[in-house]
Amino acid sequence: MVPHFPGANPLRRARIKRDDSIGATATASGRSLRRRLGGPPGRQSVVAACCVVLSLSAGALAVVPSAQADPPDPAAKKKQLDSQINESKADLHESYDQLAKSVAAYNQAETRYKVVQARYAVAQGKLAAAKAADVVAASKLRQAESALQNALNEVAAGEQVIVLQKQVAGRAAQSAYQQQNSLVGLSIVLKGASPADVATGVQVQKNVFGIQGNTIAKLNNAQAQLASKRAKLTAAEKIVAAQRAEAARTVQQVTALTKQVAQDKAEAAKLAQAQLTAYKAAEKDKNTELAQYNALVAERNRVQQILIARARAEKLAAAKRKAAREAAERAKAKKENRPPRDVPDDPGTSSGLSYPINTYITSPYGMRFHPVLHYWKLHDGTDFGGGCGTPIRAAASGVVSDRYYNGGYGNRLFLSNGVIKGSSITTVYNHLSKYKVRVGQRVSKGQVIGYVGTTGYSTGCHLHFMVYQDGQVVNPMKWL
């Protein structure tokens, strides 16, 4: 006797969650495995790349990158990740929905980290340039202040020369005045004096006034030089004021950039930690995804072994029934004295299968590359889209051989359709929300047997339809 599926492993039979009531929903443990996303999946990418990115720590940020680096465009990064989501959505249709969340969270953290890291590099470059400009400004300021001090010293010296020249001019003027008064008095006293004596007095007067003129000329020159030095002083003061303003600006810029660099470094360190946390969560969920997929493969292989034995038994039974009909036909033909007629296969088993639901296909049967686990895996059925609660119809007449809950396939229903076109066919309906028929019940082609759901390892409402031919899983579309 071919064992019932859940009983194939007696040690696990008691732990298998079943729902034998008509219209019952999935078990509580099934719902706990089906943590749905609150919205559409986030950005996804390969988790294996996480290790490379996470090797960058906050301490590595001390290295000054090129100041020419441009921060990545977050909008462009989002567009790229959204494109990857659309490409891999079919591959993750039957998957651990928490994996999509954790991978999206990691990629968001990675994107933010790269943006901050690039901004940090630019800020460091600007800070280095500002510090260099500050050094140049300080040097210029020192030179300007030195020139200003020289100008001040020259003006002070010039003013001292003016004081001295004024004193000399004063003494010359006094002497000239005294000399002029003496000559006048002398000319009066010496009226009628000889011409030679008068000429001698005039010459003395010329000498005195010559000394006075030279003294005044020197004073004027000293005053002109002082005016020039004061003009240079004014220019030097303006240059010093400008250099002080420039130095103040560079100091302010250095202060602001130093603060910005510190903030970016702290934010990068914080994001690096968040990235590490997201990576660990993604790794954990990736391992869950791998374990769940391995469980699906194990379940498929277990069912396959049972159905291979069942197919042999069905085909043997069909052959025996046909042999019995052929023997009866030969006996009847002999009795009626005629050649025996051909005996057909079991009636009602020659037609193919029909669509279980008349909707679109969301994911076909076949091998595909898992975008997270990074290896090829078999998608062992055809996924039909449909809202939860959509009626599911028997693809062919048959007997309900099994129905039970599996952590990966959710609520499953097995319909043994007998021998069709020489092959033993079993159709399997997965992720159901409710059952409509019981084990052992015979159903007709097109009869409602259950309803679309998202139980088990599923990210949304759909029917995962499988066909076993002689116990081997095959592409359902070859029978539809």
3-state secondary structure 331-356: HHHHHCCCCCCCCCCCCCCCCCCCCC
% the chain with pLDDT above 70: 69
pLDDT at 114: 81
- Which of the listed ranges 196-200, 282-286, 293-297, 359-363 does the model predict with the highest average pLDDT? 359-363
Cα 373 to chain centroid distance, Å, stands at 19
Burial grade of 280 (CB within 10 A; 0-12, 13-18, 19 or more): middle
Domain(s) of CATH 1.10.287: residues in the chain: 40-292
Pick the CATH number of 40-292 from 1.10.3470, 1.10.287, 1.20.120, 2.40.160: 1.10.287
Q: How many helices (H) and strands (E) does the chain have?
A: 6, 13
CA separation for the pair 231, 273 (Å, rounded): 63
CATH 1.20.1070.10 for the 10-39+348-480 domain, yes or no: no
CA separation for the pair 479, 354 (Å, rounded): 8
CA separation for the pair 18, 438 (Å, rounded): 12
Least confident window among 236-245, 255-264, 355-364, 370-379: 370-379
Distances (CA, A) of 66 to 126, 204, 225, 250, 260: 10, 86, 54, 21, 17
> φ, ψ for residue 235 (rounded to 5)?
-65, -40
Domain(s) of CATH 2.70.70.10: residues in the chain: 10-39+348-480
pTM, to two decimals? 0.52
pLDDT at 347: 61
Q: Tens of pLDDT along 155-199?
A: 787 778 778 777 776 776 666 666 555 554 545 455 555 556 555
Query: Can you say whether residue 451 is alpha, beta or left, with left for phi > 0 and alpha for psi between -120 and 50 degrees?
Result: beta
pLDDT at 152: 81
Helix (H) or strand (E) holding 464: strand 462-469
The better pLDDT of the pair 349, 309 is held by 309
CA separation for the pair 122, 68 (Å, rounded): 7
The better pLDDT of the pair 372, 58 is held by 372
Q: Tens of pLDDT along 5-16?
A: 543 333 343 333
Burial grade of 378 (CB within 10 A; 0-12, 13-18, 19 or more): middle
Confidence class of residue 69 from pLDDT cuts 50, 70 and 90?
very low
pLDDT exceeds cutoff 50 at 38: no
pLDDT at 438: 97
In DSSP terms, which residues pair with 424 in a beta bridge? 419
- Which of the listed ranges 254-268, 347-361, 375-389 does the model predict with the highest average pLDDT? 375-389
CA separation for the pair 310, 468 (Å, rounded): 11
Query: What's the mean pLDDT in 64-82?
Result: 51
